[in-house]
Structure 1
Amino acid sequence: MRRPPRIHGRRAAATVALVCALTATTQQAARAEPMTLAEVRARLQSLYHDAEVATDKYDAADVKVARQKKRVGTLTAQVHATEVRLARLTALAGAAARAQYRSGGVPAELQFALADDPGRALDNAGLALQAQQNTQNLLTDLTATRADLRSRTGAAAAELKRLQAGRRAMDTERGKIEQHITEARTLESRLAATERQRIADLDRRDADKAQVKWESTGILKKVGTHGTTAGKKAIAYATRQLGKPYVWGAEGPDSFDCSGLTSQAWLAAGVTIPRTSEQQWAQLKHVPVEDMRPGDLIIYFSDASHVAIYVGGGNIISAPRPGRVVYVSPAASMQILGVVRPDA
């Protein structure tokens, strides 16, 4: 093989390295050397894993922006309601003042002296003064409330702008996702159909081997076999999505990424859970693997970058990665980090 020309710069070096890797992989794969296929397979797994990690970050940024928009909307509505109430009360107070002026604005003391029934006049004057004081107190409180709400709305709007700026910066993550997926697909396209089939067979072999090892511990005799009513609804939803394609950042109805599927499955069961696998791991209740039951979510890999819904019998339903569809697979086919329970 001719030595590639010497090119300076990290981008050029990366390009040369990729070209060399693809060339070597193609040549070695053509000789059907198992080690080469193992290297190709490891590279594909790494690329798709990195794409999923970047997807989780991208989705998390979307969630934060959506949540902050809702908060700003709520505060804005509260400001509006307070201003409407304040305007109405101010108008009523003004009408009362004008009525008093039209009646001559006689002081309460003089009304008492001239009245045929001094006791009743005194009561009426006291009630009027009390009503005026109560109105003034309420106007003062509402004015303070409006000022506080305006301040909080301004702060929330500023935070929204910051999050939106961060979300735009997440285009970097979008670029990473697309780069990893493109590189993986390019690598796969260099392989013959028989080589791609051999890699798929290796994936299944390792998944089955990991599952047999996991089940040999007697785990299936310990885990629950019956889910809750909500858990059954979540599983039913996930089951209806079988065969739909994986698309990063998608949460239905036509395609899903891994956490898009699990979050929508539990939403269909009436339970709102965090959007991303990392947030699901961080915020939902952890349960020991041996105590899990159908409907629980299994979190995978040390960085919590993948999630699936446990459906019982040692199986899961998940949206695995680009190029695949929502499917049923062995629960131990990937490295299990832990289990969380949405309806704890």
Structure 2
Amino acid sequence: MREEIRGITRSTGLPHLFITINPADYHNPIPQFLAGRDIDLDKFYHKLDTKSEAFTHIQTVAQNPIASAEAFKKLIDGFIDIIAGFKRPDKIGVFGEVDSYYGVVEAQDHGSLHCHFFFWLKGGLSPQTVKEQALADPEWKRKLFKWLDDIVCQDFPADTTANRPDFTDPDRKLPAMSRPPDPNDYAFEETWQQDLRNLLEITGQVHTHSSTCFKHLPEYIKGLRNEDKDCCFNLPREFVKETYLDDDGHIHLKCSNGYINGYNDICVTCLCCNMDIKYMGSGTAAMAMVQYVTNYIAKLSLDSSTVFTALCGAIKAVCEYPPIDPITEQIDNNEQSHLLLLKTCNSMIGKRELSGQQVASFLLNIPNRFTNHKFDKMWW
């Protein structure tokens, strides 16, 4: 995968957008329906026991990983084909016209699938060209900033109020499981904005500090930490009143709420899930960012404890039964090193955990990456 992404970059240039789609399979009606439940979007969290219904959601997905995998595939296909516009007649989507895309599927700790995407836009410019064009043409720069502010939001919708759903209140609904506002309704614009805010609050789009934020801090200073300065996610972000271009050619996007992860309002409304979106077409560090993100999204899901456990087991096995050279009747050091490496690799592969959704995806022949490119393998 890593080389495929780099292959597109070599032929097309740097990607322009990095987007993560993180579907909420536990609280999404599609997996529930595919699992065989007879659901009513108008009754969820309205006339049902909210506590028992939430447990039923989780139980249904846990017992039906195939339904969860199928729902994930449908959601990602809809995102690519409709929202990104790749299969629309005019090829124009929310972000513009997409020339290339590459998405890598990954599983979270509890098994749910999510996808990291690179998007290359048709007619997209390199970071250096963006800087030169923006400095030379103020009107072009204004249009660029307007486009960026339109596709990346870092604030709550205007004229909305905090309205986090209360699961103990039977008259409140969970936004991700409820019917979305009707576009034909005369009050759609108002209700949509409030519904969007509800989604942002319930899908984890708003960051809240937790122990994970400070896992890299030494134990002896964790009690003295400054939560806003020591968060490993660098949140909250700095306040940016208006989008601007700095001297290094890096574009700083408008940010009125530093705790909100970058999102696209259309994506969140349609997908009803957590997401992240970053513009990668500016700044001297754009190439370094591509390198880092490429390595990140193509990594293997093996933690350090699994690796060390496998290594210890291999060392123990090789020491207990060392290979003996039949001629010298001494321990064959070369063969022992070979066996150590082989046993370690086999043990790590055997200990690698796969979620039910990952196994179901394999059985359903759902790809572990989504792209519009075909790659030929060259054996040399």
* TM bracket (short chain): under 0.3
Greater share of residues in helix: 1
TM-score (norm 1): 0.24
TM-score (norm 2): 0.22
Highest RCO, 1 vs 2 (Cα 8 Å, sep ≥ 6): 2
Structure exhibiting the larger radius of gyration computed from Cα positions? 1
